[in-house]
Structure 1
Amino acid sequence: MLLAKNLKFLRTQVQMTQTELAEKLGLQRTMISAYEDGRSEPKLSSLDIMAKLFHVNIDELLYHDIEAQGRKAVQNKSIKVLTIAVDGGDNEKITMVGQKASAGYLNGYADPEYMESLPQFHLPNLSRHTTYRAFELSGDSMLPLVPGTIIIGSYVEQIKDIKSGKTYVLVTVTEGVVYKRVFNYLEENGKLFLVSDNEHYKPYEVKGEDVLEVWEAKAFISTDFPNPKDKSKPVSLEDISQMILELKSEIIRLGGK
């Protein structure tokens, strides 16, 4: 059973003291110390509170090595209930999340009133059976798409459906709103690898449980026309695969954490 290790890891991750956790459970601090040392086991009622407090299920808390393997992010359920906008004919509209709105989107993506305050529009030739959202790019990590380009993404209900090598807009609690080429290693370690098409940016990983929304890139809108003299080129899929292998080797060398 991995309760002792998981409890200490999850508590320190959220910077909670043993005393603070004990207060939430209605226990003495010494009991939390005993749980984390493996000298005692909590009652089911306390386990239930812990699971809710750290956003895990009891089975994961007891038997899954969260620190070493990451969260069990592959689930057969929707990431969340999606807030959408419709017109007078009950047709879905595309909500636009601009650069300045990105920070507020993390707090307001599930708030209908906030979503209604964002710009909305229609585009022709898109499926009426799919929900779309538009995100404005910032930075140059996805050249040749320049800052200000608008990415049109279709909603992905389940994070496990992310296809390695394709580009997505991810809304995450750790990185905010990002547009990257994504490689899906959820079944291996509960994580995603995010890669920039601009070779000057290094790949990095995101835990599956930190992902709030996933939007698969389907189209883009830009006022910047390609310049044939521009020597900036995106890295190839072969280059990306090599970067992923190097990154995974480095993670393994450092202990897989």
Structure 2
Amino acid sequence: MSDTENLGKRLKRLRKGKKMTQLQLAEQLGLSISAISKFETGNSSLSFDTLKKVAALYNVSTDYLLIGSITDSEAPSQNNFPYNAAEVAPSTATDVEAPYTNASRIHVDKLNLTVLPYIPLEARAGLAEFYADDVTKYPWENAETLAVIDVPNTSEYKEAIVVAINGDSMDPTIKNGSKVVVTPVQRGNWQYLNPGVYCIIFLNNFVVKRVKDNTLLENGLLRLHSDNPAGGTFQIKGEDIRAVWRVRWAAYTPIE
């Protein structure tokens, strides 16, 4: 059973424990009944801002909502994620419900999860449009979220996000349907980009490509490469670049 399904069941049980209807909860949170229904059935994920409101309403921790029972001694310490990404403290060993009668239960011990802002495919265009207006700070607190295992607790990852990947232009390095953890590159460092894979917004386009030779200092151009030979290469102007993130690793990868 997925984390989202477990979270949905907890949300529904807590609401019923408070003897609240979905309409009453929706009004308290400033959301629609449809949104509440999708949360409880696991068809939609909560933003971290909404997660905090639900936790406060039910007088439970966000850790409990995300991963189930947790003791006070295991409460997470405050972290410095600027958009309220939540580091989830290691849980006690718990049994995760098996989805099929012939499947064994999964024993989870010291699971270290970090909840990061998540940009699904349908949100990438909106993100590109936001940065195309030269706005430097995206409202990450309103973004969807995704729990990721073992994110380094270093300053380099303070503004990490998760991005959904579609298409096969970066195959075999990044598969279609993958979700990758990326960290931002500050504007002043774009001309010094090292070889690697990057998410880049230029004009109103969002692309995931490889940088091999950075010539921004020499001629103001940056050539972007696909790992799949069929994807080809193309150049963009440095003045058209709006945002850059370096791809660190794939948090979720489909198996073909």
TM-score w.r.t. length of structure 1 = 0.48
**Higher Cα Rg: structure 1 or 2?**
1
Higher strand share: 2
Select the structure with the greater relative contact order (CA < 8 A; seq sep ≥ 6).
1
TM-score w.r.t. length of structure 2 = 0.49
